[in-house]
């Protein structure tokens, strides 16, 4: 779709598989993503992500409700020692820092705002699992809280309910601070409607 929309004019960085893609979202995560149309822009944007000068904000529907309205999780992450497709909190992992804020309490669940201070693979999902409130619909990290949530609400998610709602960065040419926002997709809005406390 990107190749068609941009008529092939995308940064060559990332090769044939991912032309122009500056950063990634997990499979089944919706929302904002930045794509570069030339190599110079790609390098400047990539440097901002590496230096953590970007601001990445996500919304997540979680199983259960966190014990406090705000949580900061600083737990290092690395590949799971046994299940290689999973990420786990490990003492020798890479630094990972996420700030969570409860936006709305729902039926056996909550709408959470997550601000990423680092950008590790599966970071939000693993840190929410660590808090005992995994993302609704997360088949990898849901565990017992997800089973309890499904039993209590009768809701089955079509995917993991995680959405990159806002992304801020400096324009590569003008240095103007840009904030891009992606509205909640229909499946996320429907999930919230289903889980409203009536």
**How many other C-beta atoms are found inside a 10 Å radius of the C-beta of residue 32?**
19
Checking 169-172 for CB contacts under 8 A at 24+ apart, the result is: 169/34, 169/45, 169/48, 169/53, 169/54, 169/55, 170/48, 170/53, 172/40, 172/41, 172/44, 172/45
Report CA torsion sign: 109, 141, 17, 166: positive
CB 193 within 8 A of CB 60: no
What is the CA 42 to chain-centroid distance, rounded?
21
Strand partners, 31: 164
DSSP sequence for 77-100: EEE-SS-TTSEEE-TTSB--EEEE
Exposed/middle/buried for 151, CB within 10 Å: 0-12, 13-18, 19+? exposed
> Catalytic residue at 138?
no
Q: Which residues are catalytic?
A: 26
């Amino acid at each position: 779709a990107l190749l068609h929309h941009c008529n092939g004019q995308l940064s060559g960085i990332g090769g044939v598989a991912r032309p122009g893609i500056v950063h990634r979202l997990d499979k089944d995560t919706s929302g904002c993503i930045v794509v570069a149309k030339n190599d110079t822009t790609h390098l400047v944007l990539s440097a901002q992500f590496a230096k953590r000068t970007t601001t990445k904000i996500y919304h997540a529907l979680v199983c259960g409700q966190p014990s406090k309205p705000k949580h900061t999780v600083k737990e290092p992450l690395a590949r799971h020692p046994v299940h290689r497709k999973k990420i786990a909190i490990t003492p020798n992992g890479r630094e990972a820092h996420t700030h969570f804020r409860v936006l709305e309490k729902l039926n056996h669940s909550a709408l959470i705002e997550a601000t990423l201070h680092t950008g590790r693979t599966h970071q939000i999902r693993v840190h929410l699992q660590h808090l005992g409130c995994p993302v609704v619909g997360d088949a990898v990290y849901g565990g017992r809280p997800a089973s309890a949530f499904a039993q209590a609400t009768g809701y089955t998610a079509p995917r993991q309910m995680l959405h990159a709602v806002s992304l801020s960065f400096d324009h590569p040419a003008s240095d103007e601070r840009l904030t891009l926002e992606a509205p909640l997709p229909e499946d996320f809005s429907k999930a919230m409607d289903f889980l409203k406390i009536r």
